[in-house]
Amino acid sequence: MPPKYNPRGLNPLQLRTLAILQRLATLEPHVAAVDDASGTVTLWHLPHAHGDHFHVGDAVLRTRDASGLRNPSVWAALARKGLIEGEFPHILKLKPDGRDYATGDLGLFMEHSDH
């Protein structure tokens, strides 16, 4: 039987935020450390918006789709559900369950750009 989609009942903002964190965890400038024993990825340098968008690697995201990155309630919910740990807004660790969580189709809000 395939795994249940969204088994922890994340709301759309939490899902979008987790999807962005998963993408950041694959980009070297944003990764501070990887704990090989636990699989936890420590992130730093969360992107800042300029105007109505910000950059994540070669993708451009609309600022309104990423409001959860700076929202302490979203961080608290993701931590409570065992997907991240950290101290808002300074340290964020993406736990293995968060890294592997199925967030759905990112194409709805992530566009590739060359600027």
The pLDDT profile of the chain, 115 residues, written as one tens digit per residue, is 556 688 999 999 999 999 999 989 998 888 889 999 999 999 988 888 888 888 887 788 888 888 999 999 999 999 999 999 998 988 899 999 999 999 876 555 566 655 5
Helices (H), the chain: 12-24, 72-80, 96-100
From the list 77, 43, 75, 47, the residue with the least C-alpha distance to 61 is: 47
What pTM did the predictor assign? Answer: 0.88
Q: Helices 72-80 and 12-24: crossing angle, nearest 10°? A: 80
